[in-house]
Amino acid sequence: MGICISVASSEIHKAEDGYENAIFFQQKNDSKGIQRVGSVYSKEGSKGLNQDSAILYQGYGNEDGVFCGVFDGHGKNGHIVSEMVRNRLPLLLLSQKNFAAKINALILEEEDDFLTPSKNKDSELVPSENFQNWKETITSAFKVMDKEIKLQENLDCACSGTTAVVVIQQGEDLAIANLGDSRAVLGTSTENEVTAIQLTTDLKPGLPAEAERIRQCNGRVVALKQEPHIQRVWLPHEDTPGLAMSRAFGDFLLKDHGIISTPDVSFHRLTPKDQFIVLATDGVWDVLSNNEVASIVWKANSEEAAARAVVEAATATWRKKFPASKIDDCTVVCLFLQSRRRLN
C-alpha cells in the first residue's frame, strides 16, 4: 500500500487500495535520496476497528524537517476523525506557518531556529521569537482543524474525537504539541544504556488544572465505581458521555463544558546524547513504562523494525497482565535523531 500527497488540497491521502492506519511519507527531492529516519506501526486490538492513525513525514518544510504524529480516535466515528486529522493537520500547519512568515518578514528578520542560546553559557536555552511564532501557528492550526471537523457533513462528532501528539523537528530543534493522553518520549543515551525523558503530560481529567477548567464550565469529573482509577468527564446533569481525557479534537457535546482543542506546546533543543523520539497511543503506555519502551527501541534490530517491536511488546504485555481484558489498539512512531549507535 502507498500514499500520495496533494499540494493543491493540502492533504495527505490514503491509497486507493485501502485504509492505512500508519503511513510513512518522504517529500520528493530532486537531490539524492534522503535516508529514512524512523518507523511507524499500528496494530488493531481486540475491541473492534482500529481507531488509531499515525504518520512519519520526512522532508517536512525543508530537507531536514520531520513531522511525527499519533492520533487515537474514540467514539463511534473516532477512526474517521483520527484519519482526517492525520491527513490534514501536517499541511495545515505548514500553510499557516508560511503565511505567518510572509507577514512577519515585512517587520522582523527571519530566524531559522526555534531557540536562541543565551549569551551566558551557564544559563539554559530559552525560546526564541521564532519558536513563539511556531507556538502560535500550532495553536491556531489546531483550532482550525477542530472547526473543520465540526463542519463535516454527515459526520457526527458529538461524542467522537481523537487525541493528537505531534513532534516537529527542524534541524536541532523540536516543537512538541499534545492534545489528550497519547505521549511523546525522548530516548537519551548514558554510559551503558538509554534513559527515557517524557516530553508531554498526559492530559486527563484527573489533573488538578484540567479538572478545575472543566468544573468551571459546569462539566463533571467523576470516576465510575468499577473504574475508580479513571476520572471521566460528564455533562452537568446527565451521565454521558464519560470522556477519559480532558482535551481532544471533536467531542463537541463537551466543548461547552471544559473539553478544549488547545494543545500543550513545548520546545526542546537536541543534544548529541538524544538518540530517538517515540510517540505512542495509550494502548502502549497503559502496559509499558517509558524506560521499557526506550529499551525496546534501543535494542531493536534496525530503525525500520523499532516501531513494530514496541507494538508487539505492548500487545504481548496486555495478554500477560490483563488476560481477561480486551487489548487496546497500539500505535507507535519512532524517529531516530542521528546515526544509530548500538550497545555491545
CA distance 199 to 101: 27
For residues 213 and 219, what is the distance between their CA atoms, to the nearest angstrom? 9
CA distance 241 to 113: 43
- Rounded alpha-carbon distances, angstroms, from residue 47 to 196, 276, 325, 330, 340: 29, 30, 10, 11, 36
Per-residue pLDDT reduced to its tens digit, 44-69: 998 889 999 999 999 998 888 899 99
Cell numbers of 192, please?
551503558
In 10 A of CB 253, how many CB atoms? 20
Residues near 217 by Cβ (< 8 Å), separated by ≥ 6? Answer: 256, 257, 258
Asked whether residue 327 carries a pLDDT value surpassing 80, the answer given is yes
Residue 101: predicted pLDDT: 66
Q: Which CATH superfamily is domain 3-197+259-336 in?
A: PPM-type phosphatase domain (3.60.40.10)
Domain boundaries in the chain? 3-197+259-336
* Confidence (pLDDT) at 31: 47
Which residue would you say has higher pLDDT here, 269 or 131? Answer: 269
State the pLDDT at residue 11.
52
Percent of the chain with pLDDT over 70: 80
Q: Is the pLDDT of residue 93 over 60?
A: yes
Mean pLDDT score across all residues of the chain? 86
